């Protein structure tokens, strides 16, 4: 499970791992877990495609067809519960196969059939899920249990997920053995040498140069976060009129880069917030980048810690904040504190 803040390149790394897997002959499926969609609805169409591909391998055909029958039973029964499963059915369901209407039990049965088909085809299936923190805890528990079952049976099904830092804790809450079943590497800012190369090499590839002072300025403002490096690199390139690109070009580019982020990367998150949630985040921003103690935020907000607990929980569920330690709260988006101060300036928010 790749975990880290937004803007650190988790999705890019997830896609790169998937490309490498496909190059090695591994079957893959790729889904993103948006808010408001059930896990069965996301998985069913992708698993159908994987099983249809596996059915083209003669040695795996019978297992793949049985997997498609399992999928028919899975979708038919669980659509009563979730109501959002839309998948083409190629075969009639097999009575008793993944059709109990219990997600945890049925997903295990379905994954077993997929794993048997992949094994017969002498390949593997890698399931890539982005924004995994949005999957509801009960559905996350079912996914973990299904993966545990395939591991017990030594079937070639693997899960590669990416999500915000709270993903580790949510998976542990869903199933206590999750931290033993999965690795959780943290994806953070690029170290200075890598961040410098990310800016300098594309410029050199175009036959231009960038001064050390300009590089230092970009690294300072972006803090090494991958998405922000891309933004400042792009805006600085367009702001510069000649080579070498200088620190003055970075200063000019910062104005347009920040404006672009405010209207897209930051604004799309801000617009999802309630007035109370905005005030909570503005209080956090008043204290700085964080993380901050819940008591300090409450004092700045002007309310009791317990009265703000539902607001904090809602912000965690929306992926706006997370808890690096008990009682601490931090932004999941780098530089969001500065955005909040620009968007709600002064003291009128209090």
Which token pair is 162?
């990416």
Identify any residues that bridge with 162 across adjacent strands, giving them in sequence order: 2
Identify any residues that bridge with 245 across adjacent strands, giving them in sequence order: 210
- CB-count exposure of residue 73 (10 Å: 0-12, 13-18, 19+): buried
Identify any residues that bridge with 126 across adjacent strands, giving them in sequence order: 28, 158
The predicted pLDDT at position 235 comes to: 97
The predicted pLDDT at position 2 comes to: 87
Architecture of domain 192-269: Orthogonal Bundle (1.10)
pLDDT tens, 230-242?
A: 999 999 999 999 9
The predicted pLDDT at position 1 comes to: 86
pLDDT at 36 over 80: no
Mean pLDDT of 17-29: 96
The predicted pLDDT at position 62 comes to: 97
The predicted pLDDT at position 6 comes to: 81
Mean pLDDT of 71-96: 93
pLDDT at 285 over 80: yes
pLDDT at 155 over 80: yes
The predicted pLDDT at position 37 comes to: 85
Q: How confident is the model at residue 251 (pLDDT cuts 50, 70, 90)?
A: very high
pLDDT at 295 over 80: yes
- Measured over the CA atoms of residue 78, residue 79, residue 83 and residue 88, the dihedral's sign is positive
Residues 278, 273: Cα–Cα separation, whole Å: 6
The predicted pLDDT at position 7 comes to: 77
- Kindly list the domain boundaries of the chain, sorted by start residue: 2-181, 192-269, 273-343
pLDDT tens, 169-228?
A: 899 999 999 989 999 998 889 999 999 999 999 999 999 999 999 999 999 999 999 999
Domain 273-343 - what CATH class? mainly alpha
Mean pLDDT of the chain: 94
Domain 2-181 - what CATH class? alpha beta
């Amino acid at each position: 499970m790749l975990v880290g803040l937004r803007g650190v390149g988790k999705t890019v790394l997830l896609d790169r791992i998937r490309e490498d897997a496909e190059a090695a002959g591994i079957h893959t499926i790729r889904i993103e877990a948006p808010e408001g969609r059930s896990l069965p609805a996301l998985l069913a169409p992708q698993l159908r495609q994987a099983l249809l591909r596996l059915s083209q391998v003669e040695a795996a055909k019978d297992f793949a067809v049985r997997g498609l029958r399992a999928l028919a039973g899975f979708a038919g029964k669980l659509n009563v519960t979730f109501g959002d499963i839309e998948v083409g059915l190629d075969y009639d369901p097999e009575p008793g196969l993944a059709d109990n209407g219990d997600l945890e039990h049925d997903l295990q049965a379905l994954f077993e059939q997929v794993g048997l088909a992949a094994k017969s085809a002498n390949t593997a299936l890698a399931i890539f899920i982005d924004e995994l923190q949005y999957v509801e805890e009960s559905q996350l528990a079912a996914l973990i249990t299904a993966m545990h079952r395939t591991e017990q049976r030594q079937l070639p099904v693997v899960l590669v997920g990416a999500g915000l830092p709270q993903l580790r804790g949510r998976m542990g809450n869903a199933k206590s053995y999750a931290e033993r079943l999965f690795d959780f590497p943290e994806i953070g800012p690029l170290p200075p040498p890598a961040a410098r190369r990310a800016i300098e090499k594309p410029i050199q590839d175009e036959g231009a140069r960038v001064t050390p002072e300009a590089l230092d300025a970009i690294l300072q403002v972006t803090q090494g976060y991958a998405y922000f490096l891309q933004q400042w690199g792009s805006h600085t390139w367009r702001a510069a009129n000649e080579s070498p690109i200088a620190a003055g070009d970075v200063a000019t580019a910062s104005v347009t880069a920040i404006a672009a982020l405010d209207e897209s990367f930051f604004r799309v998150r801000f617009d999802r917030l309630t007035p109370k949630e905005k005030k909570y985040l503005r209080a956090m921003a008043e204290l700085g980048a964080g993380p901050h103690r819940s008591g300090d935020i409450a004092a700045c907000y002007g309310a009791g810690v317990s009265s703000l607990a539902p607001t904090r929980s809602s912000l965690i569920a929306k992926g706006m904040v997370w808890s690096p330690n008990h009682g601490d709260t931090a932004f999941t988006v780098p530089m969001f504190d500065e955005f909040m101060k620009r968007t709600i300036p002064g003291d009128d928010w209090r």
